Amino acid sequence: MKKFEEKTVHSERIYEGKIINLKVDDVTLPNGKQSKRELVEHPGAVAVIAITPDNKLVMVEQYRKALERSIVEIPAGKLEKGEEPAASAKRELEEETGYTAGSFRHIQSFSTSPGFADEVIHLYAAEELKKTEQGAAPDEDEFVELLEVTMEEAEQMMQDGRIYDAKTAFAVLWAKQEIATDN
Amino acid sequence: MKKFEEKTVHSERIYEGKIINLKVDDVTLPNGKQSKRELVEHPGAVAVIAITPDNKLVMVEQYRKALERSIVEIPAGKLEKGEEPAASAKRELEEETGYTAGSFRHIQSFSTSPGFADEVIHLYAAEELKKTEQGAAPDEDEFVELLEVTMEEAEQMMQDGRIYDAKTAFAVLWAKQEIATDN
């Protein structure tokens, strides 16, 4: 797991932000040469593949400034300091969608952009969903629209580009296999 | 696609790097309040799901400084300025693995980290692979090890965390469905 290791010779911190930090590391390559690595630090995130009893996927549409457009994604959120990923995923699901899950399990964790960022997303599957009495309760400055889509609709949204991020693309393929196996 | 749009009031460029740039935008939210968005600009990338005639996946192992470890990924690379994604994907496949493909098609494009980065990966499937005479020809300062893994090995690597990035996790699920449909 350390094959072709790049040792840090010097690290310069460029920016410390609210969510991300940026540093530039000088590294020694396996052939002894030096190179630079521009690296973003991110607290990590959780995301939930939530499947309703009638096999719909719970999604949220929101504006993504980095893309200058709104996209349809599975419910997700940044990890808060010291928070366990599973607890964070349950909290995000309940806040963003108003659902709690009778069945909740870890599916996969993955790096989103290993070339320049340390962000890892912890992905969970939530089934046996029940609506809470108070419903969705997003933060005051969070603007999201809740959707429940069939597998066919989700696949169409991937073709149309309304679904347009890696975790949600993974989730659609995963849910398709999960639902096929269940039936 | 502009639902809940966040209008830019002011944009500050923090860093212009070799690969990524960082800016911080002041935005107006749909409720009129202001907020800040920390945004990474990235040139975009291509990645290739390359399936050999005996249904193995072509992978490369390389060190990822952002994660401080090596991981196993599908062949991928940054888009060069002005380069068409399909041409870039064919070039990366040939340079990194020494394969050319008789069948080459676009599968999906997705944003890797829509919360803070504009990076989009264009994903291609390459089949009917043939080894070129000269074989793999990575850049002088690129250290990658070529692997060809069965679907079972790829799924085991996802469980072990040797496969640990979003595009490759998507690729393994996609290839599983593709191979099942072919047979």
pLDDT the model gives residue A23: 98
Note down the domain range covering A26: 7-41
pLDDT in tens, A41-91: 999 999 999 999 999 999 999 999 999 999 999 999 999 988 999 999 999
Same domain, B18 and B74: no
For residue A53, is it within any domain? Answer: yes
> What's the predicted TM-score (pTM) here?
0.96
Model confidence at B81, pLDDT cuts 50, 70, 90, reads confident
For residue A2, is it within any domain? Answer: no
Same domain, B118 and B95: yes
Same domain, B144 and B177: yes
Same domain, B63 and B23: no
Same domain, A153 and A102: yes
For residue A157, is it within any domain? Answer: yes
For residue B2, is it within any domain? Answer: no
pLDDT in tens, B120-169: 999 999 999 999 988 888 777 889 999 999 999 999 999 999 999 999 99
Same domain, B100 and B169: yes
Would residue A140 show up in a list of annotated catalytic residues for this protein? yes
Pairing of strands B120-131, B45-50: parallel
pLDDT the model gives residue B138: 78
Same domain, B80 and B122: yes
Phi, psi of B82 (to 5 degrees): 80, 0
Same domain, A22 and A96: no
Measured N-to-C along each axis, helices B166-182 and A166-182 cross at an angle, to the nearest 10 degrees, of 40
pLDDT the model gives residue B146: 96
How open is the CA angle A165-B51-B173, to the nearest 5 degrees? 40
Break chain A down into helix, strand, coil percent, rounded to 5.
20, 45, 35
Chain B residues touching A77 at Cβ < 8 A:
none
Nearest CA in chain B to A37: B65
The answer on pLDDT for B183 being more than 70 is no
Is B155 near chain A, with CB under 8 Å? no
Cα–Cα distance measured from residue B98 to residue B103, given in angstroms and rounded to the nearest whole number: 15
Same domain, B67 and B20: no
pLDDT in tens, B85-130: 999 999 999 999 999 999 999 999 999 999 999 999 999 999 999 9
Kindly state the DSSP code that residue B55 receives in the 8-state scheme. S
The answer on pLDDT for A28 being more than 80 is yes
Cα–Cα distance measured from residue A31 to residue A27, given in angstroms and rounded to the nearest whole number: 11
Who's near A157: CB < 8 A, 6+ residues apart?
A72, A149, A163
Query: Which residue type sits at A167?
Result: K
pLDDT in tens, B41-69: 999 999 999 999 999 999 999 999 999 99
Mean pLDDT of B172-183: 89
Number of domains within chain B? 2
For residue B29, is it within any domain? Answer: yes
CA distance A163 to chain B (A): 8
Same domain, B22 and B65: no
Chain A residues touching B63 at Cβ < 8 A:
2-6
Same domain, B66 and B103: yes
Nearest CA in chain A to B113: A112
For residue A100, is it within any domain? Answer: yes
CA distance A17 to chain B (A): 7
For residue A154, is it within any domain? Answer: yes
pLDDT the model gives residue B125: 98
pLDDT the model gives residue A183: 62
8 Å CB contact between A49 and A123? yes
Same domain, B87 and B135: yes
Kindly state the DSSP code that residue B150 receives in the 8-state scheme. -
Model confidence at A137, pLDDT cuts 50, 70, 90, reads confident
For residue B1, is it within any domain? Answer: no
| CATH code: domain of residue B159 | 3.90.79.10
